[in-house]
Each structure stands twice: as structure tokens, then as C-alpha cells.
Amino acid sequence: MPSRRQLAVALGYVAAAAVYIAIGVSYTDFLLSYFVGLGYLLLVAWLVPAGVRRLF
């Protein structure tokens, strides 16, 4: 079974996916490129958390 920390990470990705899907359904061009998906994920799963950690 996954640990609590692993579940928390997975939940973060699920939340990121929910936003990505919501944007993609209303604007399908967002779904076409892997690099757009990668850029989005790097932003929400690495850059923003890293920025928040640096601030607080």
C-alpha cells in the first residue's frame, strides 16, 4: 500500500489533472501537445511548490 506521503503526492497530481482536464475540455487545443502538458505539469507540480517553499 502507498504511504501517506505517497498518497499526498498522488492527490496533488490528481488535482493538477482535474484542472488540466477542465481546461482541455473547454479548449481542446490544450490537449494536443505533450509539451503543453509537460509545461503545465512543471509549472504546477514543481515551479509553484518550489516558489511557495522559498517564500515561506
Measured CA to CA, the distance from residue 33 to residue 41 in angstroms comes to 13
Measured CA to CA, the distance from residue 54 to residue 17 in angstroms comes to 24
Q: 46, 48, 55, 56: which one contacts other proteins (CB under 8 A)?
A: 46
Binding flag, residue 25, other proteins (CB under 8 A)? yes
Rounded to 10°, the helix 34-42/4-26 angle is 130
Number of residues that bind other proteins (CB under 8 A): 21
Contacts to other proteins by CB under 8 A: 2, 6, 9-10, 13, 16-17, 20-21, 24-25, 28, 31, 34, 37-38, 41-42, 45-46, 50
